[in-house]
Amino acid sequence: MSNRWWIYQQERFPIFKNGLLIAVFSLAAIGYSRLLRNAAPALAAALRSSSPTEIIAPALIAAVTLFLCFLQLRIADEFKDFAEDVRYRAYRPVPRGLVTLRELGIVAIGSAAVQLGLALALGLPLVLLLAIVWGYMGLMSKEFFVPTWLKAHPLIYLLSHMLIMPLLALYAAACDWLAAEAAPAKALGWFLAVSFFNGMAIELGRKIRAPQDEEPGVETYSALWGRQTAVGAWLGAIWLSAVLTLLAARAIDFTLPVYLLVLVLLTAAVATAWRYSVHPVPTTANRLEWMSGVWTLGVYFSLGVLPLLLS
């Protein structure tokens, strides 16, 4: 039993890779919100006077909740794509019988119970926000009740599904300002916008393939739009994320370190896109997904984790 679930996570939801990214994402949302709530000159004193649990407890609640949200999104995809998987991707865990949809449904329900318990620990307002997150995830699982139309408009499909990212960022940040019985800062919107385009970069990067890796019935962006358009869209998402990251950094008076990091990562992203464009093989295609993860980790670390540590 444990072995087949271990195989499932390796193939469909790698817990260590996803866990690291989600943990940094959650801590960055907590840190950025906390930085915005404190005036810059008084920040160091405010942090010194805080108990570690004032940061750690909300961060843990946010990280566990978001990790389970992403797991639930994966499970929802298993239900939504089951018919196509049986037809085109019988090698996946559910079609080949490694785990069943019923078992995955039980995992999703158990995850929701954990999320609800964690939200209750911080109060009813967070429960309401959790309900909104669940509601949007439910709409995503039903393709907003227009699956045929969305499938015919892949850009609208991508944009509509990526709205979950700023919503999750808002939830994570709320674990900070609700615990402090404060109001969210207006500048938090920059972080939410960064999260939207980071999500775009990750989604595009993982669905751009080399020609020899394209599969019948699998709608990658490289197949739908062509390789050059797809990699251009990926690089565009990175660029927009970079601009918004600098604006978010200005709101917390941490521009120079973020600028330097963004410059390095942006150069690496351009090189990665160029390499795939001129030599579209599995190795260069995989680097797009890898670079998406590195970019996202770097951005979140520089916005919410590093300035908090330096303070």
- pLDDT at site 40: 38
- pLDDT at site 181: 83
* Residue 200 CB partners (closer than 8 Å, separation 6+): 158, 162, 237, 241
Q: Are residues 154 and 31 in the same domain?
A: yes
The answer to whether the beta carbons of residues 209 and 220 sit under 8 Å apart is: yes
Q: Are residues 200 and 284 in the same domain?
A: yes
Of 41-55, 136-150, 197-211, minimum mean pLDDT range: 41-55
Q: Minimal CA–CA distance to 208: which of 195, 218, 193, 198?
A: 218
**DSSP label of 162:** H
- pLDDT at site 54: 67
The answer to whether the beta carbons of residues 8 and 285 sit under 8 Å apart is: no
The pLDDT of 215-236, averaged and rounded, is 94
- pLDDT at site 66: 98
Q: Are residues 34 and 144 in the same domain?
A: yes
Domain end marker among 185, 213, 232: 185
The answer to whether the beta carbons of residues 115 and 35 sit under 8 Å apart is: no
What pLDDT band is residue 41 in, cutting at 50, 70 and 90? very low
What pLDDT band is residue 218 in, cutting at 50, 70 and 90? confident
Structure token pair of residue 65: 């909740």
Q: Are residues 156 and 70 in the same domain?
A: yes
Residue with tokens 């008084």: 42
Domain end marker among 130, 155, 185: 185
Q: Are residues 127 and 275 in the same domain?
A: no
Of 32-41, 115-124, 189-198, 270-279, minimum mean pLDDT range: 32-41
Between 168 and 43, where is the model more confident? 168
Question: Is the pLDDT reported for residue 34 higher than 60?
Answer: yes
What pLDDT band is residue 48 in, cutting at 50, 70 and 90? low
Q: Are residues 302 and 205 in the same domain?
A: yes
- pLDDT at site 285: 96
The pLDDT of 60-65, averaged and rounded, is 96
Q: What is the DSSP string of 25-78?
A: HHHHHHHHHHHHHS-GGGHHHHHHTS-THHHHHHHHHHHHHHHHHHHHHHHHHH
- pLDDT at site 311: 67
The pLDDT of 44-48, averaged and rounded, is 50
Domain end marker among 146, 164, 185: 185
Q: Are residues 177 and 231 in the same domain?
A: no
The pLDDT of 63-81, averaged and rounded, is 97
Q: Are residues 157 and 254 in the same domain?
A: no
What pLDDT band is residue 223 in, cutting at 50, 70 and 90? very high
What pLDDT band is residue 64 in, cutting at 50, 70 and 90? very high
Q: Are residues 52 and 130 in the same domain?
A: yes
- pLDDT at site 291: 98
% of the chain residues with pLDDT over 70: 94
Burial 246-284 (b: 16+ CB within 10 A, else e): ebbbebbebeeebbebbeebbebbeebbebbeeebeeeb
- 77-120 pLDDT tens trace: 999 999 999 999 999 999 999 999 999 999 999 999 999 999 99
- pLDDT at site 57: 86
Q: Are residues 77 and 99 in the same domain?
A: yes
Amino acid at 274: W
* Residue 244 CB partners (closer than 8 Å, separation 6+): 190, 193, 194, 197
| Alpha carbons 166 and 173: distance in angstroms, whole number | 10
Question: Is the pLDDT reported for residue 47 higher than 90?
Answer: no
What CATH number does the domain containing 170 carry?
1.10.357.140
Question: Is the pLDDT reported for residue 270 higher than 90?
Answer: yes
What CATH number does the domain containing 258 carry?
1.20.120
- 139-175 pLDDT tens trace: 999 999 999 999 899 999 999 999 999 999 999 999 9
Tally of structural domains, the chain: 2
For 105, the domain range is 1-185
Q: Are residues 45 and 129 in the same domain?
A: yes
Between 217 and 69, where is the model more confident? 69
Burial 12-48 (b: 16+ CB within 10 A, else e): bbeeeebeebbbbbbbbbbbbbbbbbbeeeebeeebe
Q: Are residues 174 and 194 in the same domain?
A: no
- pLDDT at site 95: 96
| Alpha carbons 34 and 252: distance in angstroms, whole number | 10
